[in-house]
Amino acid sequence: MKPLFDPAPFAQHAEDIEFEPLARARKPHSHRLRMRLAAGAFLIAFAALGWRMSAIALDHDGPKEAVRSAGVEQTTHRAPLVDRNGRLLASTLQTWEVYVHPRESLGAGGVSPDSLDALGKVFPRLDLIELRRHLSEGKRKFVWVARKASPDQWRRARDLGIIGLYASQREDRVYPAGRFVSHIVGGVDVDNIGVAGVESGLSDLITAPDRKMEPVRLSVDLRVQTALRNTLSAAKSEFAAPGAAGLVMNVRTGEMLAMVSLPDFDPNERPAAPATFLQQARSPIFNKVTQGAFELGSIFKLLTTAMALESGVANLETPLNATAPIRRGGFTISDYLGKGRWMSLREMVKYSSNIAAVRVAELIGPDRQQAFFEKFGISGKVPLRGFPNGELSRAQLPQQWGTAESATVSYGHGISVSPLHLATALASLANDGCRVTPTLLKVDENAPSALCDRIVSSETSATIRGLMRLVANESSGRNANIPGYEIGGKTGTAYQVKPTGGYNTDKRFNSFAALWPTSDPQYLMFISLDDPKLLDGSRRLPLAGHTAAPTAGSALERIAPLLGMVPTDRFRKADKADEKNEGEG
Amino acid sequence: MIGSFLRLITVLAAFAVVLSAAMLYRVKTETREMKAEIRAMEREADKVRQRIDALETEWAYLNSPGYLIDLVRTHADVLNLKERVPDNFARLVEIPPRGALEVGGQQ
């Protein structure tokens, strides 16, 4: 019988195993050596440990750094906003919401009249009678004492020792410049989230954790903004206009130095959004500069001229038939104070002839005109950097771009755009024909200038600037011609569109675009007045040349010196005086 | 000889253990104290920062265009401040030498 397993292999192994005698018995020297080695190793290890520990104990930087990295949480989360010169436009403050639990107070024996009076002294606006009633009744669990208390106020209130009085800390966004920057900053909601303006458009930048509360520098110049707002506000009263809008832009960098829409609001107490669309346009929170869509009238003739020059269908001397009103698409197109004769393209701009503009549009053709509008950035939205997309209007173009539409569009009717659209297109025309992208963020002066995204040639740019100078010097823009600043301009008077369709011939929308200095353009100003009236007793019609142009002139007179621009003829006059004196001497 | 050597090492090691424990305790306490100190300092810094923010905001309020315009209007008789106009620019040679105006005023 075979066993369950074969022991043979095990036996074989057993024979191989040789029992080693005890090491001690065999090699006493080796033992001593090992002990010494082990002791030495331990000694070295202990020495290293001790050295390291003493290093930690003596070196103060080590532990300190470790604690710092643990960090203390930051209490404010929205970085301040400053203007281009560093003036504060928005900041975040710590405030306290103070409230009382009447039942808790009652349970502890109520609040003494003295403490209540003292509380009234801390919060002057507190209704003490109401609070006393709540405290004695104890019906409500919770009553507000103050929604916005300063840290000092809360400290004083807490020191009164009123039982049941509590406070919770919150952040509050404040705008020291108030309504002077209303539409630019926009505002935040109760949760400190930007809802409009740059507070919404630059939200990522303002709340970026790596910003460490470093202020966000806007392109806005508070002085220019103030001057423009005050001038517009005065013009709004002078011409009894329900609304006004204006902007100042650097045509080289696209920086917006000022942007005003009247009526405005105090961003510290931002009004609620209007319910209906019709109310929206009348609401103070509506930004006419970016959200509006208006027919801006004859300023478009500059664009029409640029198109004609670029496409080569006409030059400044091309004769155009403006002898009599013409009918296009069921409309009669006529001129205000028309010359009733043939005129050149130059005169078309100078005298702002609608009929001649239509003749130019017919030379250009609807397709080419439409393509030019797209090129000039008047087809979609203007990519204003720093502003939320929801506050930028889309240009309302003719639905079908036929010859009739092409005719009216040539002098700025049948096309609704925001003042920002037209200002940006004009800035690009002025900027040597290179596209300008408007921004509300300050542009680094040392940054290399971007490559030219050309929309018209250098020559066309120079010609347009020359025509603007002509209008400001000799024609409808004379009222804006401040001596010494080489101002160029163009007026735009348009009938307002009725909500029911068609035009309201009693209501106008007057605009003026000013560029200066025209030989080396630096700034562009755009001003619009909604339904202005001439209340000076004259029977003149409220045309842009009588309303928007003088408004632009007085704004310019204040803004140009603020920007450090010295009038050229100021010194020319002085030089002449010097020569005279020398002659007399 | 080996025994005494071993004993020495043992004594040294024990001493080192006690020493290092004492040192470690000291470092730990120091660290804890320092941590508390830093936290207090950071709280203090935060408070100061908040105060600076509040003061800066107040300063901005006091310098806000609306407030300044009101002040200029209210105290026009004393301040007599005017807006800057293009004619305000002058060349250095046109500015009268220092003191010339006062002398002229006295005469």
pLDDT in tens, A81-118: 999 999 999 998 888 889 998 888 888 777 888 888 88
Higher-confidence residue of A447 and A322: namely A322
Residue A570 has pLDDT above 90, yes or no: no
Closest residue in chain A to residue B27, using alpha carbons only: A57
The confidence score (pLDDT) of residue A21 equals 52
> Residue A544's domain is classified under what CATH number?
3.40.710.10
Residue B59 has pLDDT above 70, yes or no: yes
Is residue A193 assigned to a domain? no
Q: How many domains does chain A have?
A: 2
Overall average pLDDT of the A125-146 stretch? 85
d(CA A67, CA A133): 50
The verdict on a CB contact (< 8 Å) between B9 and A39 is: yes
Q: How far is C-alpha A136 from the geometric centre of its chain's CA atoms? A: 51
The confidence score (pLDDT) of residue A582 equals 47
Tokens 């720093």, residue? A386
Write out pLDDT tens, residues A1-53: 555 555 555 545 555 555 555 544 555 677 888 888 998 998 999 888 878 77
Q: CA A440, A445, A447, A452 torsion: positive or negative?
A: positive
**Of A449, A455, A440, the residue nearest A384 (C-alpha):** A440
Confidence of residue A351 (pLDDT cuts 50, 70, 90): very high
The confidence score (pLDDT) of residue A486 equals 92
The confidence score (pLDDT) of residue A433 equals 94
Q: Are residues A402 and A496 in the same domain?
A: yes
Confidence of residue A574 (pLDDT cuts 50, 70, 90): low
CA dihedral A195, A200, A206, A210 (to 10 degrees): 110
Which of A140, A158, A173 corresponds to the end of one domain? A173
d(CA A263, CA A286): 9
Q: CA A428, A429, A430, A432 torsion: positive or negative?
A: positive
Say what percent of chain A tops pLDDT 70: 89
For residue B69, the number of C-alpha atoms closer than 13 Å in the C-beta half-sphere is: 11
Check if A76 contacts B (Cβ < 8 Å).
Answer: yes
Is residue A327 assigned to a domain? yes
For residue A473, the number of C-alpha atoms closer than 13 Å in the C-beta half-sphere is: 14
The residue type of A10 is F
d(CA A422, CA A478): 21
Confidence of residue A456 (pLDDT cuts 50, 70, 90): very high
The verdict on a CB contact (< 8 Å) between A46 and B84 is: no
Any idea where the domains of chain B sit in the sequence? 2-81
Residue A464 has pLDDT above 90, yes or no: yes
Given a contact cutoff of 8 angstroms between Cβ atoms, the answer to whether A432 and A418 are in contact is no
Distance, in angstroms, between B36 CA and closest chain A CA? 10
* Burial category of A131 from C-beta neighbours within 10 Å (exposed 0-12, middle 13-18, buried 19 and up): buried
Residue B96 has pLDDT above 50, yes or no: yes
Residue A328 has pLDDT above 90, yes or no: no
Between A57-71, A129-143, A295-309, A483-497, the lowest mean confidence (pLDDT) is in A57-71
A329 is in which domain, residue-wise? 225-570
The verdict on a CB contact (< 8 Å) between A570 and B89 is: yes
Overall average pLDDT of the A520-541 stretch? 91
> Residue A132's domain is classified under what CATH number?
3.90.1310.10
The verdict on a CB contact (< 8 Å) between B60 and A177 is: yes
Confidence of residue B105 (pLDDT cuts 50, 70, 90): very low
3-class secondary-structure state, position B77 = helix
Closest Cβ opposite residue A178 in set B54, B66, B86: B66
The confidence score (pLDDT) of residue A202 equals 93
In chain A, positions 175-194, which contact chain B (CB-CB < 8 Å)? 176-180
Contacts of B61 in chain A (CB under 8 A): 176
Strand partners, A509: A494, A530
What is the average pLDDT value for chain B, to the nearest integer? 85
Check if A222 contacts B (Cβ < 8 Å).
Answer: yes
Distance, in angstroms, between A15 CA and closest chain B CA? 40
Structure tokens at A57: 């104990």
The residue type of A353 is S
Contacts of A176 in chain B (CB under 8 A): 57, 60-61, 63-64
Residue A392 has pLDDT above 60, yes or no: yes
Is residue A126 assigned to a domain? yes
Distance, in angstroms, between B25 CA and closest chain A CA? 10
Confidence of residue A134 (pLDDT cuts 50, 70, 90): confident
Is residue A117 assigned to a domain? yes
Residue A329 has pLDDT above 90, yes or no: no
Chains A, B: CB pairs < 8 Å: 117
* Burial category of A474 from C-beta neighbours within 10 Å (exposed 0-12, middle 13-18, buried 19 and up): exposed
Mutate to test the interface with B, among A30, A44, A46 (most CBs of B within 10 A): A46
d(CA B89, CA A570): 8
Distance, in angstroms, between A362 CA and closest chain B CA? 44
Mutate to test the interface with B, among A93, A153, A170 (most CBs of B within 10 A): A93
Is beta strand A243-250 parallel, antiparallel or unpaired with respect to A216-217?
A: unpaired
Residue A302 has pLDDT above 70, yes or no: yes
The verdict on a CB contact (< 8 Å) between B53 and A92 is: yes
Structure tokens at A276: 């209906």
Backbone phi and psi for residue A99, each to the nearest 5 degrees, phi listed first: -145, 165
Q: Are residues A305 and A443 in the same domain?
A: yes
Write out pLDDT tens, residues A243-275: 999 999 999 999 999 999 999 999 988 888 887
Q: Are residues A160 and A241 in the same domain?
A: no
Higher-confidence residue of A476 and A74: namely A476
What is the average pLDDT value for chain A, to the nearest integer? 86
Residue A401: count of CB within 10 angstroms of its CB: 17
Closest Cβ opposite residue B34 in set A67, A174, A226: A67
d(CA A55, CA A13): 57
The confidence score (pLDDT) of residue A576 equals 56
Report long-range pairs for A271-280 (Cβ below 8 Å, ≥24 apart): A278/A499
Q: How far is C-alpha B71 from the geometric centre of its chain's CA atoms? A: 31
DSSP code of residue B35: H
User: In the annotation, is A298 catalytic?
Assistant: yes
DSSP code of residue A216: E
Write out pLDDT tens, residues A151-163: 788 888 888 888 8
The confidence score (pLDDT) of residue A256 equals 96
The verdict on a CB contact (< 8 Å) between B89 and A561 is: yes
Structure tokens at B3: 């025994």
The verdict on a CB contact (< 8 Å) between B31 and A174 is: no
Strand partners, A90: A81
Closest residue in chain A to residue B42, using alpha carbons only: A72
Higher-confidence residue of A576 and A505: namely A505
The verdict on a CB contact (< 8 Å) between B38 and A49 is: no
Mutate to test the interface with A, among B57, B67, B85 (most CBs of A within 10 A): B57
So what's the ipTM on this one? 0.72
Is residue A75 assigned to a domain? no
Closest residue in chain A to residue B91, using alpha carbons only: A571
d(CA A112, CA A21): 96
Catalytic residue among A298, A410, A461, A475: A298
Is residue A23 assigned to a domain? no
Is residue A313 assigned to a domain? yes
Is residue A186 assigned to a domain? no
Say what percent of chain A tops pLDDT 90: 53
For residue B21, the number of C-alpha atoms closer than 13 Å in the C-beta half-sphere is: 6
DSSP code of residue B32: H
Structure tokens at B18: 């006690």
Given a contact cutoff of 8 angstroms between Cβ atoms, the answer to whether A283 and A270 are in contact is no
d(CA A229, CA A241): 14
The verdict on a CB contact (< 8 Å) between A574 and B24 is: no
